[in-house]
Amino acid sequence: MTCTSDTSFWGTSWGVIWATGDAFGIKDFKVLYSNSTANQPLTRDCTIITNGDNYLKVYLDGTKVYENHTMNLQIPAPFNAFLEPQSSYAKQMFYGTYKDYYATTNENVTVTTNLSNAATVSIVDKSGNTLVRSPISAGSAILDVGRYHLPLAAYINVYDSNNMQIASTSSPVNIFGGDIYSVS
């Protein structure tokens, strides 16, 4: 599974490709997403979320471009990444490597609180922008952070039913999908 680009005199196009094969190479591939609109960037942030079995969600620059819950992915755990440039181009190739590679157990975080008047939880970036907000049910809120670059350094704020902040982390915390946080 990969996000990839193709740059030519027509411009840069982006796609999400699912390839299957063995140790000797790719045997089959499917284009799951393709975007050839004009003026695309040469680099993009790609987030791939999968259980390796039947679930796949892909974000490009924080925008969901593909989601499927019924696939037969056949990706054995642990999920490893390998970079193998393949080309028939005879001149020097320029290629990048993965940076900020991470694996999480889930795309959601759970925030628990014991405050009886708590109604919602928000994750707020350092600039004060609310990134995601969710109601509290049975003392917990589940917030989808899968589209963001992780770790997401942000505040976790708790609000009452009048939208008044009643609790917060004292400083930004590094948030990873699948984690559980408690705010009192």
Say if residue 119 is in the same domain as residue 57. Answer: no
Tell me: the pLDDT tens digits for 20-75?
887 777 888 899 999 988 888 888 888 888 888 898 899 888 899 999 999 988 77
State what percent of residues in the chain have pLDDT above 90: 44
**For residue 95, is it within any domain?**
no
Is residue 103 over pLDDT 60?
Answer: yes
Domain that holds residue 139: 108-182
| Residue 139 belongs to domain with CATH number | 2.60.40
Going by pLDDT thresholds of 50, 70 and 90, the confidence category of residue 78 is low
- DSSP for the chain, please give it: -EEEEEEETTEEEEEEEEEEEETTEEEEEEEEEEE--SS--S---EEEEE-SSS-EEEEETTEEEEEESS-----PSS------------S--------S----S-SEEEEE---TT--EEEEEETTS-EEEEEE-BTTEEEEE-TTS-SSEEEEEEEE-TTS-EEEE-SS-EEE-TT-EEE--
Tell me: the pLDDT tens digits for 121-140?
999 999 999 999 999 999 99
**For residue 78, is it within any domain?**
no
More confident residue, 101 or 2: 2
Q: How many domains does the chain have?
A: 2
Say if residue 177 is in the same domain as residue 113. Answer: yes
Say if residue 120 is in the same domain as residue 169. Answer: yes
